[in-house]
C-alpha cells in the first residue's frame, strides 16, 4: 500500500476547475503520503521489535535448556566424582564453555570423565585452550580415547614417531592423526564398542 501511494501521481492543475480546489487536493494527497509513510515506518519498527523480542525469548529458552542439561550432567558426574563441581569450578582453569574443546566434551559419551581429567590438570587445560579449534578437538579426542582404553592420560606431549624400518602393530595417537585418519580411527573404535 505504501508503494502504491508513493507511485500514485500527484494531482495536476489542469484536472481541477480552479486553483483553490487543486491546492486542497494536492495538500490532501501529500498528507496521505506522509501518513502512509509514517504508518509504514511504525509498522516496520513494530515488526522488527517483535522479531527481536521473539529471538531474545528463543535465546533465553535455549540458554535455560542448556543450563538445565549442564546441571543434569554435573549432578550425574557428581555420583561418580563427588568433588566434580568443585574441581571444574577451580579458578585455576581457563574458560572453556563455548570453545571447540567444550563442544567435543559435550558430545562425548564420557564427557564427565574427560572434563574431570582436564579440570584436575589445569596446566593441560591451558595448553588445550591455546590450540587451534581443530587442535582442541583432536586433543579432547586423544584424552577420550586414552580414558576409554583405560590408559593413564599423560600431560606430556605425545612421543615422536620412531625412525626406521618395520611396521609396528601400535596404532597412531589420535592427537597426531590427520582428519581422515582420525575419522577412520573413530568409526573403528565406535564399531568395536558396539560389538
Residue 93 · residue 121 · CB < 8 Å:
no
Instruction: Output the pLDDT for position 156.
Output: 52
Who's near 30: CB < 8 A, 6+ residues apart? 10
The closest of 127, 129, 101 to 114, measured between CA atoms, is 101
Q: What is the distance between the terminal CA atoms of the chain, rounded to a whole angstrom?
A: 66
pTM, two decimals, is 0.51
- Between residues 165 and 103, the one the model is more confident about: 103
Residue 8 pLDDT > 50, yes or no?
yes
pLDDT tens for each residue of 120-170: 989 999 999 999 999 999 999 999 999 888 765 555 554 444 444 444 445
Cell of 106: 559435550
Integer Cα distance of 41 and 33 in angstroms? 12
Reported as a pLDDT band with limits 50, 70 and 90, residue 191 is confident
pLDDT tens for each residue of 27-60: 988 898 899 889 989 999 999 999 999 999 999 9
**Most distant CA pair in the chain, distance:** 107
Residue 17 pLDDT > 50, yes or no?
yes
Integer Cα distance of 6 and 96 in angstroms? 54
Mean pLDDT to the nearest integer, 80-85: 91
Amino acid at each position: 500500500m505504501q508503494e502504491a501511494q508513493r507511485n500514485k501521481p500527484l494531482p495536476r492543475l489542469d484536472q481541477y476547475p480552479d486553483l483553490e480546489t487543486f491546492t486542497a487536493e494536492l495538500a490532501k494527497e501529500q498528507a496521505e503520503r506522509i501518513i502512509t509513510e509514517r504508518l509504514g515506518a511504525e509498522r516496520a519498527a513494530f515488526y522488527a521489535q517483535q522479531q527481536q523480542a521473539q529471538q531474545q525469548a528463543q535465546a533465553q529458552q535455549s540458554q535455560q535448556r542448556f543450563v538445565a542439561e549442564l546441571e543434569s550432567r554435573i549432578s550425574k558426574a557428581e555420583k561418580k566424582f563427588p568433588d566434580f563441581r568443585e574441581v571444574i569450578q577451580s579458578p585455576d582453569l581457563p574458560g572453556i564453555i563455548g570453545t571447540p574443546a567444550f563442544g567435543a566434551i559435550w558430545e562425548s559419551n564420557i564427557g564427565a570423565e574427560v572434563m574431570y581429567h582436564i579440570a584436575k590438570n589445569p596446566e593441560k587445560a591451558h595448553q588445550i585452550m591455546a590450540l587451534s579449534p581443530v587442535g582442541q578437538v583432536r586433543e579432547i579426542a586423544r584424552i577420550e580415547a586414552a580414558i576409554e582404553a583405560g590408559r593413564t592420560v599423560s600431560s606430556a606431549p605425545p612421543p615422536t614417531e620412531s625412525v626406521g624400518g618395520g611396521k609396528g602393530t601400535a596404532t597412531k595417537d589420535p592427537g597426531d592423526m590427520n582428519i581422515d585418519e582420525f575419522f577412520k580411527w573413530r568409526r573403528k573404535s565406535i564399531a568395536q564398542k558396539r560389538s
